[in-house]
């Protein structure tokens, strides 16, 4: 470890101290200092009220799961919040696959962000603009609004911040495969879902035209889904239901020409789920006639055909004509994040690295959450020397079990991988871990030195896993961060986090801890698979009802809840609509 | 009158005879003759079944009010119907202004055309394509489908017909005013309404951006509606409600910057309505703060400003900046109709001229209805000689009242303007008309000659009026024509129409007669004006409920009915949504 690394880590760990200093300086300096420091502050027009200027300016980028969850849970009125996002609404993305086939209407799953924030006692301003540059040095973000009727005209907005919350999400990852960006449909935004819906009906109308050969008709009605993750699988299942429940009634002659193909590069679909769910899904798709091609890597997409590489050596290349391709595999980095990562030296990464308190590594007042960030979990072994020293209260150079138990809770909180390791190995306390490393014969009264201590933890770090890029993680991060902001002052005074092993005192906050509530994989035909906490797997019609009730309850407002439920009701009664709009 | 005109008129009047001949020839000739005559028939792929080929091929262009009403009412299974339209749905256009502000969702007012026709026992095929050329000589229509994913690729379809029903509607009329086509929004299609909705919210978002002067903000929030007809007035009223009921809650600071201007070239808005309605509407708009500018002709629309010419001499030109302009004035001719009119010599007309049976003048097997056509009502004076001769049973050269009464019903049916004239003049029978022309002293037993007869009718023709281009007219024409088609064979044998004054026998069918059920003009704030038959005027909240119930009952299907009613309910409970989608 270089001196520089050590130094920067110390600074980072002591950041709360530095921040307290800033807080006092700024509040002490008051209005004059503030307006002097920001002579060209473009926000002054809106925030001119004197009372505002004393407030800390929080800028939130993005109105997705993380940003909205942050805004919903922020209750401390001592902030002046500015939200910047190109979309003036929050979209309940887990229902996007339902929108593609008209099971749910697009408007039913969105809620205007102004509606979400307007009842709050916190000052929240929203600008419909897209941030294209973060200037961490001067604490400014540069945004662009493309709302003008004239597409060549864009408004530029520069916004100052005290705290920046980056929650811009991710974009689609095309893996630079040629033709994907031009010819494929994606499934990230409401507009994508609407386009897919129109394209499906367009394909059926095209296939209905006279003068077509059977072959051409089959080509037009060949729907290809790339990516066997939950979204791709759900879309393929929804499409199958849409075709077989609704479209065949209106296009009876086309029924036999429709083909749905699901391409997955790995050996199985729904990899992140339990094997039972994967097996059930693959079997159901086979029964439904959905053509499942695993181990197929897409290498090229032309405007008419999609080429895949199959087999172990990738020797067998096959090219199939298609009518529509939906690309739903992996997430990529947004340009603004890419640019920001270059600035702060986080190169060669896919997403921003943050610490366990969601602060971007190396930037004190910038937080990043959701799909654009990942927590860079500190390794126990990196801090092993500090932990040992802290625990060794009598400076004896050795650790008794009693001494170790004093810091045990803090270790478990600061390094969640320790808890995970114990759970996986079915150990009950850290003492078991120590025993393990010394062999089972060790007694409770045993004393260990640094080397033995290090050995005990050497396996632990291997259990670390990045959190998945899901709505659930983003929402929990948003509400965690809002909670930190709500109690910022209180926790400055009474830190509640674990001991700082490398510094003095305690961390201000508990680190973020993700709680997994399970995951659904709707499989069509009113059947859903669910993997619930404790590896509990549930598949079938009853799970579909669980899905309905969980999703209805998770919707952001009573309005969207009523709309989505009435959409489901409409669908049950009248089926899905197939007008080309 | 030239010999040619006389000849062509005689042929036209005897067309049913000619048509009967064709019917017998075709049915007699049977399958072989048919397929020989159509060696390159491109429809054979679809209509290959032997039984089909004996059927008369009816091609319907357009799925608007007229076309859909025709399809809904066509019940005779002896036709093979092909519907060609670029929109695969029927849209309930009177609710379009509600869609612009999200009071009703676009999907709630559309019904897939395949759904409308699929339960019928008539063979109906639908192609999503746009007709660009009608070849009356060879009885073919040329169509183009633009469904392909590749915008440069279009499918060409050629369809043969025995009967052609043209119901393609009209397009927006820009009166060649510069900048209108580029910078204005229109309100004819579902997509237009969706675009307007997005633009309204975009304007509010743009006006919310920081760094704007008050002037710029007011410019962006200046909504201009051009045209004081029912659509323009309803849109202005809806927009006012949307702003004041919903948007001000989310954009409270912008309330005072919003301005709605309604421009009308005439002296009053809602010209076609009773003066009481006009006065009420103008007063209500003034109270609501809608800026009403009558007598203002638009002369130019740039991307930022709209220029109008005002005053009697058009000397005063004013230019106002705007955020959005909605153009809702007059209807124009679609290119395919323009081209067809050139072919059949109907130049210098705005729409196709048809006879009272909706047949295009000069084209026996082509019918035109809805906004693309108008009935060229025959003048009584043109036929006065034939009527006189027909009535003069004893060839005495003079007409007794008794003789005249024999043909009276037929005259009234054949020339609806006669009935209209009597009604307006408060006369009870045609005899009163004759009395009128000879002075009030004349007795029932009087005898009149041709000159006196002509004089009596000379005033009558002046009462003729074209039917308005409304949904009501189109729908009635569609169902009238379907009824004629349903009873075609029966009426060939037993004609039920009025006497042919210029020919022998009777017309096959009664001529089309429009029945006016009244017209609504929603004025916002849950108030509507209605002009009902018999000049009954009703204005206010109760009329709004009449409007709700009439429109709900007129919707095309139970599905759309349920959806629209639930949309109204949603709006009452949750207000209108303002997400930018």
Q: Where are the domains of chain A?
A: 1-34, 180-331, 378-463
Give the model's pLDDT for residue A572. Answer: 86
Contact assessment for residue A160 and residue A140, using Cβ atoms and an 8 Å cutoff? yes
Give the model's pLDDT for residue B413. Answer: 87
Residue A442: pLDDT band with limits 50, 70, 90: low
Instruction: Say yes or no: B279 contacts chain A, CB-CB below 8 A.
Output: no
Instruction: Say yes or no: A152 contacts chain B, CB-CB below 8 A.
Output: no
Per-residue pLDDT of B91-118, as tens digits, reads 999 999 999 999 999 999 999 999 998 8
Least confidently predicted of A44-53, A471-480, B568-577: A44-53
Does residue B289 have a pLDDT over 60? Answer: yes
Per-residue pLDDT of B441-475, as tens digits, reads 555 566 778 888 888 888 888 778 888 899 999 99
Contact B118 A249 (CB under 8 A): yes
pTM: 0.85
Instruction: Say yes or no: B115 contacts chain A, CB-CB below 8 A.
Output: yes
Contact B114 A578 (CB under 8 A): yes
Mean local confidence (pLDDT), B157-183: 94
Q: What is the CATH number of domain B180-331?
A: 3.50.50.100
Distance CA A337, CA A328 (A): 21
Here the tokens at position A484 are 């930190």
Nearest alpha carbon to residue B240 among B552, B527, B470 = B527
Contact A210 B127 (CB under 8 A): yes
Per-residue pLDDT of B43-102, as tens digits, reads 333 443 444 457 899 999 999 999 999 999 999 999 999 999 999 999 999 999 999 999
Least confidently predicted of A44-48, A544-548, B307-311, B563-567: A44-48
Give the model's pLDDT for residue B39. Answer: 36
Of B127, B149, B194, the CB nearest to A209: B127
Give the model's pLDDT for residue B580. Answer: 78
Per-residue pLDDT of B405-449, as tens digits, reads 888 888 888 888 888 888 777 776 666 777 666 665 555 566 778
Residues of chain A positioned with their CB less than 8 A from the CB of B127: 208-210
Distance CA A55, CA A225 (A): 49
Here the tokens at position B576 are 């209108």
Residues of chain B positioned with their CB less than 8 A from the CB of A87: 580
Give the model's pLDDT for residue A148. Answer: 61
Interface of B with A in 393-422 (CB under 8 A): none
Contact A579 B45 (CB under 8 A): no
Least confidently predicted of A18-22, A154-158, A511-515: A18-22
Contact B579 A149 (CB under 8 A): no
Distance CA B206, CA A155 (A): 9
C-alpha distance from B432 to closest chain A C-alpha (Å): 56
Per-residue pLDDT of A381-427, as tens digits, reads 888 888 888 888 888 888 887 888 888 888 888 888 888 788 777 77
Contact B157 A211 (CB under 8 A): yes
Does residue B325 have a pLDDT over 90? Answer: yes
Per-residue pLDDT of A368-381, as tens digits, reads 999 999 999 888 88
For chain B, the straight-line distance linking the first and the last C-alpha, in angstroms and rounded, comes to: 60
CATH topology of domain A378-463: Recoverin; domain 1 (1.10.238)
Contact assessment for residue A237 and residue A292, using Cβ atoms and an 8 Å cutoff? no
Contact B129 A209 (CB under 8 A): yes
Residues of chain A positioned with their CB less than 8 A from the CB of B579: 88-89, 107, 110-112
Dihedral of CA B312/B315/B321/B326: which sign?
A: positive
Give the model's pLDDT for residue B41. Answer: 37
Instruction: Say yes or no: A211 contacts chain B, CB-CB below 8 A.
Output: yes
Does residue B10 have a pLDDT over 60? Answer: no
Contact B210 A157 (CB under 8 A): yes
Does residue A61 have a pLDDT over 90? Answer: yes
C-alpha distance from A522 to closest chain B C-alpha (Å): 25
Contact B562 A579 (CB under 8 A): no
Interface of A with B in 184-203 (CB under 8 A): 190-191, 194, 199, 201-202
Residues of chain B positioned with their CB less than 8 A from the CB of A559: 573-574
Residues of chain A positioned with their CB less than 8 A from the CB of B149: 183, 199, 303, 324
Does residue A499 have a pLDDT over 70? Answer: yes
Report the DSSP beta bridge partners of residue A373. Answer: A352
Distance CA A539, CA A515 (A): 22
Distance CA B579, CA B581 (A): 6
On average, the pLDDT of chain B sits at: 85
Instruction: Say yes or no: B48 contacts chain A, CB-CB below 8 A.
Output: no
Contact A209 B157 (CB under 8 A): yes
Mean local confidence (pLDDT), A450-477: 86
Give the model's pLDDT for residue B222. Answer: 97
ipTM: 0.84
Mean local confidence (pLDDT), A446-460: 80
Secondary structure of A271-337 in HEC code, one letter for each residue = CCCCHHHHHHHHHHHHHHCCEEEECCEEEEECCCEEEEEECCCCCEEEEEECCEEEECCCEECCHHH
Instruction: Say yes or no: B49 contacts chain A, CB-CB below 8 A.
Output: no
Give the model's pLDDT for residue A395. Answer: 84
Contact A147 B212 (CB under 8 A): no
Distance CA A182, CA A302 (A): 9
Alpha helices (runs of H) in B416-466, residue ranges in sequence order? 416-424, 430-438, 450-458
Instruction: Classify residue A312 by burial, with Cβ atoms within 10 Å: 0-12, 13-18, 19+.
Output: exposed
């Amino acid at each position: 470890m270089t001196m520089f690394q050590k130094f920067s880590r110390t600074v980072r760990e002591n950041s709360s101290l530095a921040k307290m200093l800033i807080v006092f300086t700024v509040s002490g300096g008051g209005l004059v200092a503030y307006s002097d420091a920001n002579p060209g502050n473009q926000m002054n027009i809106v925030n001119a009220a004197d009372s505002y200027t004393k407030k800390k300016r929080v800028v939130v980028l993005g109105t997705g799961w993380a940003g909205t969850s942050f805004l919903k849970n922020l209750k401390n009125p001592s902030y002046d919040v500015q939200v910047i996002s190109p979309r003036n609404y929050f979209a309940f993305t887990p229902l996007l696959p339902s929108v593609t086939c008209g099971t749910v209407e697009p408007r039913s799953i969105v809620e205007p962000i102004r509606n979400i924030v307007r009842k709050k006692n916190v000052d929240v301003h929203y600008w419909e603009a897209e941030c294209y540059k973060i200037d961490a040095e001067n604490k400014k973000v540069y945004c662009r609004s493309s709302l003008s009727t004239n597409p060549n005209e864009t408004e530029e907005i520069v916004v100052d911040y005290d705290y920046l919350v980056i929650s811009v999400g991710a974009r689609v990852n095309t893996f630079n495969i040629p033709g994907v960006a031009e010819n494929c449909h994606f499934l990230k935004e409401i507009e994508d879902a609407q386009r897919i819906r129109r394209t499906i009906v367009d394909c059926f109308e095209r296939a209905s035209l006279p003068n077509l050969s059977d072959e051409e008709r089959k080509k037009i009605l060949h729907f290809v889904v790339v990516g066997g993750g939950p979204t791709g699988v759900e879309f393929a299942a929804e499409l199958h239901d849409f075709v077989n429940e609704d479209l065949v009634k209106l296009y009876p002659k086309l029924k036999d020409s429709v083909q749905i193909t699901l391409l997955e590069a790995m050996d199985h679909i729904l990899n992140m789920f339990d094997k039972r769910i994967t097996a059930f899904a693959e079997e159901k798709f086979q029964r439904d006639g959905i053509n499942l091609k695993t181990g197929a890597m897409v290498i090229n997409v032309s405007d008419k055909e999609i080429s895949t590489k199959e087999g172990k050596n990738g020797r067998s290349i096959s090219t199939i004509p298609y009518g529509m391709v939906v690309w739903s595999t992996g997430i990529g980095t947004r340009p603004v994040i890419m640019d920001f990562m270059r600035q702060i030296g986080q190169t060669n990464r896919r997403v921003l690295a943050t610490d366990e308190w969601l602060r971007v590594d190396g930037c004190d007042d910038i937080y990043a959450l959701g799909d654009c960030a990942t927590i860079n979990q500190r390794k126990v072994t990196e801090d092993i020397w500090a932990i040992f020293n802290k625990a060794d209260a009598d400076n004896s150079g050795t650790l008794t079990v009693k001494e170790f138990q004093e810091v045990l809770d803090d270790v478990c909180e600061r390094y969640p991988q320790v808890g995970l390791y114990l759970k996986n190995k079915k150990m009950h306390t850290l003492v078991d871990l120590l025993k393990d490393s010394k062999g089972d014969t060790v007694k409770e009264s045993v004393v260990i030195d640094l080397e033995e201590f290090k050995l005990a933890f050497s396996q632990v770090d291997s259990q670390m896993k990045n959190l998945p890029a899901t709505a659930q993680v983003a929402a929990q991060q948003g509400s965690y961060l809002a909670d930190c902001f709500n109690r910022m002052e209180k926790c400055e005074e009474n830190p509640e986090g674990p001991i700082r092993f490398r510094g003095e005192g305690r961390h201000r906050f508990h680190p973020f801890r993700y709680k997994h509530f399970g995951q659904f994989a709707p499989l069509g035909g009113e059947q859903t698979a669910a993997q619930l906490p404790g590896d509990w797997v549930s598949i079938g019609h009853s799970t579909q009802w669980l899905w309905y009730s969980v999703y209805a309850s998770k919707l952001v407002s009573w309005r969207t809840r009523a709309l989505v439920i009435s959409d489901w009701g409409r669908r049950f009664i009248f089926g899905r609509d197939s007008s080309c709009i």
